[in-house]
Amino acid sequence: MPWLLIGAIVVVLALVGGIGYFLLARNSTVSPWRPSDDNKDPSLAIPGIATTKYEGQHHVTPQQRVAYDRTPPYGGPHDGYWAACNGQVYPRAVRNENMVHGLEHGAVWIAYDPTRISGAALDGLTAKVRGQNQMMISPYPGLDQPISLQSWGHQLKLADPNDPRIDEFITSLRGNPNTYPEVGASCDALGPGAFDPQNPPPFDPPPYPKNALPMTYQGSSGGTG
């Protein structure tokens, strides 16, 4: 009997099995947060997540404001021009109505309180955004928590920039076709005259003016996307 050959085969099979088990175990660690046919919105299992149903495609003009029901907002009427959400890192706070339109295109928006998040903490959050489509980050003065994550109809507020729920939220919701209205819409900016990411419309925090449009505002269902 070629015992040496049989022994070599057994060793090879054991190695292949070990590698397969390792890859399976690693994938099983990640897979609970990836959308699938059996789990269309894995984010619902994230502790602390808030969800609200919003209709999409209700547009306002660049001169109009919306009296949003959440801070930061994560759905509802929004500007006809979307904020660039193709890995955009905004150094200054941006107008809510444009950011919400980016969420309608499947983006995750990381908002942070600039008085509490800076240095290495901000670098870590920025690294999750830069170069990643359907991601954007901006300061948001006056947040009730240091960090707030938004996707269309979803929000998660956190105190710790190293909280593992940040990656769970992003994995579950960035580009998840089951959770945002305009699947396939672009995150690239349309350019000057529409939305210029180098000179975006300025932040417009509450309190809202008396003529701000209500969340029930239907607006135009057309517009730019």
The two three-digit tokens of residue 117, written as one number: 């998040």
pLDDT at 20: 57
- The answer to whether residue 139 sits within a structural domain is yes
Q: pTM for this structure?
A: 0.86
What are the respective helix, strand and coil percentages of the chain, to the nearest 5? Answer: 30, 15, 55
80: in domain = yes
Find out whether 87 and 129 touch, Cβ atoms under 8 Å: yes
Q: Is 54 inside any structural domain? A: yes
Give domain status of residue 38, yes or no.
Answer: no
CATH number for the domain harbouring residue 72: 3.40.30
pLDDT at 223: 62
* Distance set, CA 118 to CA 42, 150, 172 (Å): 30, 20, 26
Q: Domain for residue 124, yes or no?
A: yes
Nearest to 112 by CA among 79, 90, 133, 87: 90
Widest distance between CA atoms in the chain: 91
Buried residues in 128-154 as b, exposed as e (16+ CB within 10 A):
bbeebebbbbbbbeebeebbbbbbbbb
What is the helix (H) or strand (E) element at residue 98, kind and residue range? helix 96-104
Residue 77 DSSP class: S
Alpha carbon distance 36, 49 (integer Å) = 19
Alpha-carbon span 90 to 158, nearest angstrom: 20
Range of the domain at 63: 48-173
- Number of structural domains in the chain: 1
Q: Residue 113 has which token pair?
A: 């309180």
> Considering the domain boundaries, does residue 26 fall inside one?
no
Per-residue pLDDT of the chain (225 residues; tens, 9 = 90+): 566 666 667 666 767 666 655 555 555 555 699 999 999 999 999 999 999 999 999 999 999 999 999 999 999 999 999 999 999 999 999 999 999 999 999 999 999 999 999 999 999 999 999 999 999 999 999 999 999 999 999 999 999 999 999 999 999 999 999 999 999 999 999 877 799 999 999 998 889 999 999 999 998 876 677
- Beta bridge partners, 158, equal 147
Q: In this structure, is residue 93 part of a structural domain?
A: yes
Cβ–Cβ under 8 Å, residues 113 and 84: no
**What sign for the dihedral angle of Cα 177, 179, 182, 188?**
negative
Residue 127 lies in a domain: yes
